[in-house]
Structure 1
Amino acid sequence: QEIKRNPYWQYFLGYTTFSPEHTFDSSTLVSFRKRFPPEFLEEINLANLSEVIEKWDNSKDDESNNNDDQNHSGTTSTDSNSDTSQAAVDSNSSVLNKGTVIIDATCCPADIKYPTDLDLLNSSRLWTEQIIDSLFEEYGPLSSQSRKPRTYRRKARRQYHQFVKHPRVRKTKKMRKIIGEQLSYVKRNLGYIDQYIFEHPDCLDSLRSVERKRLDTIRVLYAQQREMYEKKSHNVPDRIISLSQPHVRPIVRGKQKSKVEFGAKMSMSVINGFCFIDELSFDSYNEGAHDHFVQVIEKYRERFGLYPERVMADKIYGNRQNRKWCKEHGIYLSAEPLGRKPKDQRKLLKQMCEDMGVRNEVECKFGNMKRRDGLNLIMSKLAESAKTEIHLSVICRNLVNLVRFSQA
């Protein structure tokens, strides 16, 4: 709107003449965003840090050359001395590992309403009623009826509001009763829509694109809610918690603020103050699993050519498989030793406190990006747009650190 009425902005954008028409709409911005997929943004992040990474590589080469000179200077012509030097080289195999990586995972909350089964079913009922109205306006009544399909919308609305406006009466039996009623309304509406599709196979083309998407989501949501209602459970695979963002899943975090968060889960590694996204998914996963842990370390090797010397991680990463893998590759993993604790724990506690202080850097990065870079609430609605927004937050944080690094 501002560009439409401001000639100075149009001149700045390269317009040759003043135009009072709309230059673009929201869909144009989405099309522009699609030019930058997450993979391309990851390449941009690495390109921005190319000079810094090159300096790290040069420092690693210098240190490895110094270690090689020290090893070669101690060799002699005798077999015993050669065996001793070879043992020294083998013992110093950790020289091939360089750097410290700090890894952790967090959730990037999406901009959705706190989901409840009743609210989701009520929203589904409203959308199906709107779709029935559109189909009736376009094609008239069904062949088996002489008037508009009866949806009981007033009765359903009254029952819903009577329940939500009286929180004191929200007991399990009444909650189950109202959910069953809303399920029956949604089932009836979906039946009417299926009859329209049977009589008019091309009727869905007359609907708006958002209505078609909502209809597909509502069908899956109804099947999930019906399954949980019949089994008297609250868990179902790939549970939908938002009609507008069906890709969002609940992420169990166990934090003091909220035990469950809703958004994308991101695994990130911090290396010398710079952030790199290792995995970004809307599905919940165990970041401490062995396969995921190895994948993160292998990505470090792809970026810098070497395994890290130290891995600073949370307790969830300290399982036996990860410990064994790190030991085989000469990597130090900041985890409390297994087995019986020593009598004198002062040295162990000191080491754990030092490791915790180093690991806190990744928590600082999460806090900075959530408070300053928009990672605390992802406003994008599409899955790819949300991932792009998260990658841009990481790029912005790295650019801030890059400016400080260049000024130092």
Structure 2
Amino acid sequence: MSKIRRIRDFQHTFSFSSQEQQFNVFHDRFLKSDLGRIYRAVPWDGMVSALGLKEAKKGPKAIFSPRGKVALMFLKHYADCSDRKLVEGLNGNLDWQFFCGIYIGTDRLENFKIVSEIRSELGGKLDIDALQKVLYGHWSPHMEGMNAVTMDATCYESHMRYPTNVKLLWECTDWLQRLLKKVCRENKSAMPRSKYLKWKKRYVSYSKMRRKTKKKRQALTRALLLLTEKFSLELDRWEKEYGLSFTVDQYVRRAAAKKAHAQQHALFHHGVRPEGRIVSLDRPYVRPIVRGKEKKPVEFGAKVHKFQVGGIGFIEHLSFDAFHEGIRFRKTVLDVQGLTRTKVKIVGADAIYATNKNRKFATGNGIGTDFKRKGRAGKHEGHRKKLAAAITKERAARLEGSFGNDKEHYGLKRIHARTKATEILWIFFGIHTANALEIGRRMAKARLAKAA
């Protein structure tokens, strides 16, 4: 390795064009980095085929090839930064350019929205099961212990403000009022009279209060319910009488606002707790997930049930609606056996899975678990306790540890995507970027051992 020097010491003689002249030198350096290990670990052709990506035959040539689009999603979670900073880094980082299969040279990418455009394109094509089969097929030679599986669920939260009934109703009222105002302005008609400005001031004052009394909350809720209903009915009247048309996004938001109003009206006036409660007008698909944690009893985002084989995690089920992970024990075991073509002999899962039905299934199929024993101790109780302790340690250290690793280092602490499809894509690539780095390190270790 040559000595590292300061650019200012030889800035008049250093040639940046050497990136082209010494391509192999720079590329070999890239392959030795963690990003290069991910690059070696990803089955690019299989993923491109599973996503159904092809080069466009008509029109100008895209900046990113189908392979480059997939690489950009991995790079997004490896860098764990915003789309704007990702594009800025791509302009100046040669390793990132190698990873995405482009060479920018003296040019610059200015449009950072290209990342979200690619994310939206891939989100509509994502098939989690098909892609995970491709990944497993490529990674399986570097995985051990296929007959042992651990499983658990976690919530990957969406990036949104903490929802309350008053905040939700104000979002609906404010958005419907702005839409109605736009319609009236375009049709040169006067806005219908309302007390919107009065209650806007009161909402701002209420928001600044440290102690929000029940009396003020009820008065504000009642007024916002009336305003939301009034603006919604006015828009319906304009659409019916004048044949106005709205965009798809506006129709979706109007439907979400109507549903939220109906839910909050029933809750406020009749005490009926809503099913499928809407907590955000921007993300009407997000539901409250009750987790029961001390610091965070309720989370808002996608609940993901994962299983881990050979230290590599895969998504078994993903839903924005709450579900009980205990009922997915049998299906997870069968899915693992279908994926690995190996009979599962050991399963690690926490106490929520230890139902009589799951115990019966595990016993009937000769599967060892770390469930707490019921009834009398058998003659092999000492052996059973050692096995259960080893399984619990593996699950707590590796599977639950991967949840924190994904959230802290691979962009899954808060999901900043704006649609349901792109949120699912975000979670998928965040999880498998961590997996790809682990497999890449195993591959590098095997190459060193073989060379020695």
Q: Do both share a fold (TM > 0.5)?
A: yes
1:215 is aligned to 254
CA distances 1:175-229 after superposition (whole Å, capped 9, x unpaired): 223211110111111121122112112x133xx5543332221111111111111
Correspondent of 2:197 among 154, 160, 168: 154
TM-score, normalization by structure 2: 0.70
Q: CA deviation at 1:122?
A: 0.8
Q: How does 1:217-256 map to 2 (within 5 A)?
A: 217-233=256-272, 235-256=273-294
Whether the 8 Å CA contact 1:156–1:185 is kept in 2: the answer is no
Q: 1:133 to 1:39 in 2, by over 3 A?
A: closer
Q: CA deviation at 1:241?
A: 0.7
Counterpart CA distance in 1 for 2:351 and 2:92 is 58
Q: Does 1:104 align with 2:191?
A: no
2:304 is aligned to 266
1:188 is aligned to 230
Q: 1:55 to 1:187 in 2, by over 3 A?
A: closer
Counterpart CA distance in 2 for 1:348 and 1:326 is 14
Whether the 8 Å CA contact 1:140–1:148 is kept in 2: the answer is no
2:173 is aligned to 125
Identity percentage of aligned residues: 25
CA distances 1:261-298 after superposition (whole Å, capped 9, x unpaired): 00000011111111111001111100001xx2221111
Q: Does 1:281 align with 2:319?
A: yes
Counterpart CA distance in 2 for 1:378 and 1:167 is 29
CA distances 1:210-253 after superposition (whole Å, capped 9, x unpaired): 433322211111111111112224x3111111111111111111
1:167 is aligned to 210
Secondary structure at the counterpart of residue 317 of structure 2: strand
Secondary structure at the counterpart of residue 30 of structure 1: helix
Any stretches of 5+ residues in structure 2 without a counterpart? 1-83, 447-452
Whether the 8 Å CA contact 2:276–2:287 is kept in 1: the answer is yes
Counterpart CA distance in 1 for 2:192 and 2:179 is 12
Q: CA deviation at 1:159?
A: 2.3
Whether the 8 Å CA contact 2:347–2:391 is kept in 1: the answer is no
Q: Does 1:204 align with 2:225?
A: no
Counterpart CA distance in 1 for 2:296 and 2:92 is 48
Counterpart CA distance in 1 for 2:345 and 2:381 is 25
Secondary structure at the counterpart of residue 245 of structure 2: helix
Aligned residues, how many? 352
Whether the 8 Å CA contact 1:38–1:391 is kept in 2: the answer is no
Q: Does 1:318 align with 2:354?
A: yes
Secondary structure at the counterpart of residue 34 of structure 1: helix
CA distances 1:282-329 after superposition (whole Å, capped 9, x unpaired): 11100001xx22211111011111331011001000000011111111
CA distances 1:35-56 after superposition (whole Å, capped 9, x unpaired): 3557545544443442542576
Whether the 8 Å CA contact 1:204–1:212 is kept in 2: the answer is no
Q: Amino acid of the residue matched to residue 204 of structure 1?
A: S
Q: CA deviation at 1:346?
A: 7.4
CA distances 1:112-149 after superposition (whole Å, capped 9, x unpaired): 110000011111111111011111112233xxxxx420
Bigger Cα displacement from structure 2, 45-54 vs 119-128? 45-54
Q: How does 1:48-63 map to 2 (within 5 A)?
A: 48-54=135-141
Q: Amino acid of the residue matched to residue 401 of structure 1?
A: E
Counterpart CA distance in 1 for 2:387 and 2:332 is 24
Q: Does 1:35 align with 2:117?
A: no
Q: How does 1:50-89 map to 2 (within 5 A)?
A: 50-54=137-141
Q: Amino acid of the residue matched to residue 328 of structure 1?
A: G
Q: CA deviation at 1:29?
A: 3.6
Correspondent of 2:416 among 365, 370, 379: 379
Q: CA deviation at 1:162?
A: 3.1
1:47 is aligned to 134
Secondary structure at the counterpart of residue 243 of structure 1: coil
CA distances 1:315-346 after superposition (whole Å, capped 9, x unpaired): 0000000111111111112201123679x997
Q: 1:33 to 1:159 in 2, by over 3 A?
A: closer
Counterpart CA distance in 2 for 1:332 and 1:347 is 11
Secondary structure at the counterpart of residue 160 of structure 2: coil
Counterpart CA distance in 2 for 1:18 and 1:358 is 49
Pick the structure with greater CA Rg. Answer: 1
1:85 is aligned to none
Q: How does 1:310-389 map to 2 (within 5 A)?
A: 310-339=346-375, 350-360=386-396, 361-389=398-426
Whether the 8 Å CA contact 1:42–1:391 is kept in 2: the answer is no
TM-score, normalization by structure 1: 0.77
Any stretches of 5+ residues in structure 1 without a counterpart? 61-97, 142-146
Q: Amino acid of the residue matched to residue 35 of structure 1?
A: L
2:63 is aligned to none
Q: 1:364 to 1:238 in 2, by over 3 A?
A: same
Counterpart CA distance in 2 for 1:224 and 1:27 is 38
Q: Amino acid of the residue matched to residue 180 of structure 2?
A: I
Q: What CA RMSD, in Å, does the superposition of the two structures yield over aligned residues?
A: 3.3
Q: CA deviation at 1:260?
A: 0.4
